[in-house]
Amino acid sequence: MLRRLLTAAFALMLPTSGAHALSGASDPSVVVGVMATLTGPGAITSQDAVDGFNLGLKELGNRFSNQEVRVVVLDDKGSADLAKQQVSRMLERERIDMVVTALSPPSFAAVIQPLLSARVFVFNLDQMPPAQAGAGCSPWLFGLAPPLGGVHEALGQHLTATQVRRVALVLPPFSLSAPMVEAFRHSFAGEVVATLTPRPGATTFAPEFAAIARHKPDAIYSLLSGGMGGAFVRAWYDWPERGEMAFYSQGGGLERPYLPAMGEAAEDVADVGTWSPDMDTPVNRRFVSDFELEYGRQATTWAAQGFDAAFLIDAALRATNGKTGDPDAIRAALRRAEFTSVRGSFKFNSNHTPVLSYLLRKVGQDAKGRTIPESQQPVLKEWRDRQAQSCSMHWVEEVIPLTSTKKP
């Protein structure tokens, strides 16, 4: 599947004799652009998201409703400049009906306005930036990933409910730390005794551990991700003074790509997520089994988000009898989100971010003895993104007919 998609992407780059030489009468009814980071460090999450989407499309018979689907995939290789060039060529040369994105924040920022200006539906498989979730929301943009504040507010509520009173936060060295901390403080009733920011790329954390020893918190909440997040977990496990302090990782820190490098150090770590491989529903059991059979690796939350996107789009086009020419009808059907999500309950907030339930997860083992993030208990049900208060769309309070004539 991936080889065929990359072939399509290469064809898109070739010179043509006219602006629409690659569309034409032979095109299927639905053309989907997939813009993702499939090369470099960012490929870990994006590849899973794209593979989840591809698996969902395959299980739908490579059709949305009764219409054949052609996928045009573009790999930005982690470059925002390349992403901007690619979206321009794609919109010029292809009759694109919708676009699925799994890009780094800089690349997403480079392509989102051209896509929205072209009036094509965009389904973002990564976290929605605050601007697009708030005042910059759009009737053409839908998010499939949990909103930025969800996991942090969920953990704050869990710690409050379990009477944890003093927490030290370990923050990543980038600008999104502030809204993460704000979301956590919104629901945590105790005291944040320290906010610690390691140097970029750190693999040792002596200054942070010294500060933790001074403050003696009840729990540590590490918002570090990727390699730094794993390095901090290993260093914490080896720190002789950690005692009985509880350790929580940022959402996504216990996903399959990171667990092997942590080894036994991950056993005492918990996080909050919206999906886990052991969720006991028919659709999730099938998804977990089929993903591993198709790709030879375990599914992740990112793959679940991509899988959901395929079935969301299919449900919307089924509601319009496969017709793509009425965007108002498609938008109304998308807002209804009448599909069975692998993450349980799923609906959209007024800013088109998903309303999901959040689970406490802890490292366990599957039937084959492999480490997985296991669900422990629900901690926050159907949380709504607070950024929606700044969004001008208020359709949740409206009655939306399926074939609305209202302009976005």
Judge if 267 and 252 occupy the same domain. Answer: yes
CA 251 from centre of chain? 11
Is 213 inside any structural domain? yes
Query: Are residues 115 and 186 both part of a single domain?
Result: no
What's the total number of domains in the chain? 2
* Residues 167 and 233 grouped into a single domain: yes
Segment (H or E) for 343: none
Same domain, 42 and 142: yes
Same domain, 128 and 190: no
10 Å CB burial of residue 175 (0-12, 13-18, 19+) is exposed
pLDDT at 396: 58
7 and 131 inside one domain: yes
**Whether residue 269 is found in the same domain as residue 323:** no
Identify the pLDDT of residue 226: 84
Q: Are 146 and 127 in contact (CB under 8 A)?
A: yes
Q: φ, ψ for residue 384 (rounded to 5)? A: -110, 135
Predicted pLDDT of residue 3: 40
On whether residue 264 sits in a domain, the answer given is yes
Where residue 380 sits, what CATH number does that domain have?
3.40.50.2300
* DSSP notation for 294-333: HHSS---HHHHHHHHHHHHHHHHHHHTTT--S-HHHHHHH
Q: Which secondary-structure segment (H or E) carries 187? A: helix 177-187
Residues 155 and 232 in one domain: yes
DSSP line for 36-98 = E--SSTTHHHHHHHHHHHHHHHHHTTSEETTEEEEEEEEE-TT-HHHHHHHHHHHHHH---SE
Q: How far apart are CA 150 and CA 271, in angstroms?
A: 12
Question: Which candidate, 223, 217, 211, places its Cα nearest to that of 165?
Answer: 217
Domain that holds residue 26: 2-146+280-352+393-397
Residue 405 lies in a domain: no
Task: Please tell me whether residues 226 and 364 are part of one structural domain.
Answer: yes
Digits of tens for pLDDT over the chain (408 positions)?
A: 444 444 344 334 333 333 333 333 355 689 999 999 999 877 999 999 999 999 999 999 999 998 999 999 999 999 999 999 999 999 999 999 999 999 999 999 999 999 999 999 999 999 999 999 999 999 999 999 999 899 999 999 999 999 999 999 999 987 678 889 999 999 999 999 999 999 998 999 999 999 999 999 999 999 998 889 999 999 999 999 998 899 999 988 899 998 988 989 998 899 999 999 999 999 999 999 999 999 999 999 999 999 999 999 999 999 999 888 999 999 999 999 999 999 999 999 999 999 999 999 998 888 888 888 998 899 999 999 999 999 999 885 443 444 433 434
C-alpha–C-alpha distance, residues 328 and 293, integer Å: 38
Same-domain pairing of 183 and 237: yes
Same domain, 181 and 264: yes
Same domain, 53 and 175: no
